[in-house]
Amino acid sequence: MLYNFTILSPELILIAIALLGQLIAVYCKKTHRVIDSTVILCIALVAFILQMPSFEVSAFHDSFVINGFSRFFKALVLMFTIANIIMYRDFCKISNNEIKHEFVSLTLLSTLGIFVSISSRDLLLLFCGLELQALAGYALAAFNTSSYKSSEAALKYFVLGALLSCISLLGMSFIYGFSGSLHYTTIATLLDPAANSINVGLVIGVILFLSGILFKLSAAPFHMWTPDVYEGAPISAVTYFSTTQKIGVLAILFNVIHFIVWDYTQISVDLIRIAAGLSMIIGALGAIRQESLKRLMGYSTILNVGYVLIGITLHSSEGDYAAQIYMMIYTIGAIGFFACLIALLGSKAEDATFRDIQGIASNRKTIAAVATIIMFSMIGLPPFAGFFGKYYLFYQAVAAKEFVLVFIGIASSVVASFYYLKIIKTMYFIDSEIEVERIPTNRGLFLITLISVCFILIFPFFMNNFRI
């Protein structure tokens, strides 16, 4: 038992950080900034521990596994979590709002759920991790209690999330009823079409369970919550949803595909292929008429998740690598863009529209240039990271003869370039109708935008270093 809990040490440390930090914040209300700084240092320590070399180990009868894949993604999730907390602190400082440590605690609990889900090899443990992540996410969406939009976003997120959780549970009941087990290995063995006849009940169960994961990834046709929640939720929560959460759910999807679905093409290819195509079409077309920048980024998330699913559809190591690096490129660009919005608009970033960024480049040249580089990367223009991510992804898809997905991907990139370029056009070529307040850039936001731009510029030289 002691050995099992030793393997769980990163998760246990996260629990301790979240609970002790919240407890101290309740009794020491004037030291929230110090507490948050200490929390950030502790999270960085956990990320360092995760990167220490170690063999693959398992706990609780192989239901919880730590290996190179899980350590890499957990460290990546923690890095985004640190960035999200820093952005929240700086946003509160710019907006002259009191820092509420509850936001940090909820973020850590959601991250804990992602950790458990990534390492789980049992559906029951996976479901518990996903629900912990989701419940904290609902609270994050409703965190701005003074805004009816935030409450509306949280309600929509909760209702749709509960519905998909029920569908996932129904799928689990099918899986358990037709396989007699919730362990990945047993389910994969029974699902293998080469060794067994087609088990329709088991196939239905896996499809239903996959639907719940695609919902959390914002993949169409389970995307309906994303634009509304992104528009109404606080910008700090939106940043978490579009970066940390997406990286974690992608790792979970990798595990489900590799350890459960395996090479069962009726599920692992056809279902993911349909989701990829629909996500690219809806994400590209849905954002064209949007005025809210947060809502636009919601559709951008749907679009880019479609690109990521192309790599998973290929069902190869190169396809998985292409999906992995593309998601990294997008999430780092997204967090950089949200940091730019906060640095430019301050509290107005909560309801940012194109009107708010008109002519902003005239007096905030550096931040406008950073946002432009990020937009060029999302379009896929050379020599930025987004170009190499899309090129490698489409190259692998062409090699696997997925010509339909490649055509949809290229067409959607052309359509999406319209609204990405519209952001640049608004900043540089449209005069402002209102007087723009100049907000001093905080060090945290400056650091995040600097890292984001540096990654976009130098990533092509280090692409092969991100292989797991």
Q: What is the pLDDT of residues 55-84, one digit of tens each?
A: 778 888 888 988 888 888 998 998 999 999
Q: Is 81 domain-assigned? A: no
**Looking at this protein, which amino acid is placed at residue 59?**
A
In 192-292, which ranges are continuous DSSP H helix?
200-216, 226-232, 235-240, 246-256, 265-268, 270-286
pLDDT at 27: 78
Which own/partner contact pairs does 144-152 have at CB distance under 8 Å and 24+ positions apart?
Answer: 144/233, 144/234, 144/350, 147/232, 147/234, 147/350, 149/231, 149/232, 150/232, 150/233, 150/234, 151/232, 152/228, 152/232
Give the Cα separation of 295 and 308 in Å (integer): 20
CB 334 within 8 A of CB 452: no
Number of domains present in the structure of the chain: 1
Give the Cα separation of 421 and 425 in Å (integer): 6
Through-space distance between the first and last CA atoms of the chain, rounded to whole angstroms = 30
Q: How do residues 285-314 score in pLDDT, each as one tens digit? A: 999 989 999 999 999 999 999 999 999 988
Give the Cα separation of 235 and 425 in Å (integer): 23
Give the Cα separation of 112 and 244 in Å (integer): 11
Asked whether the predicted pLDDT for residue 188 surpasses 90, the reply is no
Q: What percent of the chain has pLDDT over 90?
A: 49
- Sign, Cα dihedral of 165, 168, 173, 176: negative
pLDDT at 468: 60
DSSP assignments along 283-324, one per residue: HHHHTTT--BHHHHHHHHHHHHHHHHHHHHHT-SHHHHHHHH
Top pLDDT among 154 and 465 is at 154
Asked whether the predicted pLDDT for residue 2 surpasses 90, the reply is no
pLDDT at 202: 86
3-state SS of 58-124? EECCCCEEECHHHHHHHHHHHHHHHHHHHHHHHHHHHHCCCCCHHHHHHHHHHHHHHHHHHHECEHH
Q: Is 381 domain-assigned? A: yes
pLDDT at 421: 94
Asked whether the predicted pLDDT for residue 434 surpasses 90, the reply is no
**Looking at this protein, which amino acid is placed at residue 44?**
A
pLDDT at 307: 96
Highest mean pLDDT among 144-148, 192-196, 338-342: 338-342
Top pLDDT among 27 and 336 is at 336
Which two structure tokens, joined as six digits, stand for 301? 């998330």
Q: What percent of the chain has pLDDT over 70?
A: 90
pLDDT at 10: 83
pLDDT at 7: 79
Question: Mean pLDDT of all residues in the chain?
Answer: 87
Q: Is 48 domain-assigned? A: no
Asked whether the predicted pLDDT for residue 142 surpasses 80, the reply is yes
Give the Cα separation of 221 and 274 in Å (integer): 9
Asked whether the predicted pLDDT for residue 200 surpasses 60, the reply is yes
pLDDT at 435: 65
Asked whether the predicted pLDDT for residue 53 surpasses 60, the reply is no
Asked whether the predicted pLDDT for residue 466 surpasses 70, the reply is no
Q: How do residues 18-45 score in pLDDT, each as one tens digit? A: 888 888 887 776 666 667 677 777 777 7
Which two structure tokens, joined as six digits, stand for 97? 């709002």
pLDDT at 397: 94
- Residue 254 sits at the vertex; the CA angle it makes with 406 and 51, to the nearest 5 degrees, is 120
Q: Is 94 domain-assigned? A: no
Number of H helices, E strands in the chain: 20, 2
At 422, the pLDDT band (50, 70, 90 cuts) reads: very high
Where does residue 379 rank: exposed (0-12), middle (13-18), buried (19+ CB within 10 A)?
buried
Q: Is 331 domain-assigned? A: yes
> What number is the average pLDDT over the span 183-187?
89
Q: Is 161 domain-assigned? A: no
Q: Is 114 domain-assigned? A: no
pLDDT at 194: 67
Give residue 302's domain range. Answer: 269-468
